[in-house]
């Protein structure tokens, strides 16, 4: 079945860039997403990318998609303490269009 994998933890220094990586298995994926979960809250959509795109930029966020390697990354420029959260990678496809498959989440911590 479909699977989405990401590392569990990432620690970066404030002001540096954070890069969170994700791999997925479904070659028919149509949309790929990044969600952010702050402590005590639900998941909120940060950004998404359609599968025919390679890159999407939105202010401090840059999403890169390598369809050949089934690899998705999220880069956060100038990481701030408010960026501390769990970041979930997710994918959906026409074959499973009624479900979005989530990764386990990467906990991003910021050190001064």
Partner 1 sequence: DAGVIQSPRHEVTEMGQEVTLRCKPISGHDYLFWYRQTMMRGLELLIYFNNNVPIDDSGMPEDRFSAKMPNASFSTLKIQPSEPRDSAVYFCASSFAPGTASGNTIYFGEGSWLTVV
The phi and psi torsions of 39 (rounded to 5 degrees) equal -55, 130
- The answer to the question of residue 59 lying near partner 1 (CB under 8 A) is no
Contact assessment for residue 66 and residue 21, using Cβ atoms and an 8 Å cutoff: no
Q: Closer to partner 1 at the Cβ: 17 or 25?
A: 25
| Strand partners for 12 | 110
Q: If you compute the radius of gyration of the chain from its CA atoms, what whole number of angstroms results?
A: 13
Query: Of 48, 60, 67, 84, which one interacts with partner 1 (CB under 8 A)?
Result: 48
Q: Closer to partner 1 at the Cβ: 79 or 92?
A: 92
- The answer to the question of residue 92 lying near partner 1 (CB under 8 A) is yes
- The answer to the question of residue 105 lying near partner 1 (CB under 8 A) is yes
Strands 43-50, 101-102: parallel, antiparallel or unpaired by DSSP?
unpaired
Question: What are the residues binding partner 1 (CB under 8 A)?
Answer: 30-31, 33, 41-45, 48, 88, 92-94, 96-100, 102-105
């Amino acid at each position: 079945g479909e699977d989405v994998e990401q590392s569990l933890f990432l620690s970066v220094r404030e002001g540096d860039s954070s890069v969170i990586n994700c791999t997925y298995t479904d070659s028919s994926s149509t949309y790929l997403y990044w969600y952010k979960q702050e402590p005590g809250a639900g998941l909120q959509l940060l950004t998404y990318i359609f599968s025919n795109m390679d890159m999407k930029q939105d202010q401090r966020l840059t999403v890169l998609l390598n369809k050949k390697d089934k690899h998705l990354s999220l880069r956060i420029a100038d990481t701030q303490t408010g960026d501390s959260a769990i970041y979930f990678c997710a994918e959906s496809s026409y074959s499973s269009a009624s479900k979005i498959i989530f990764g386990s989440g990467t906990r991003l911590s910021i050190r001064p």
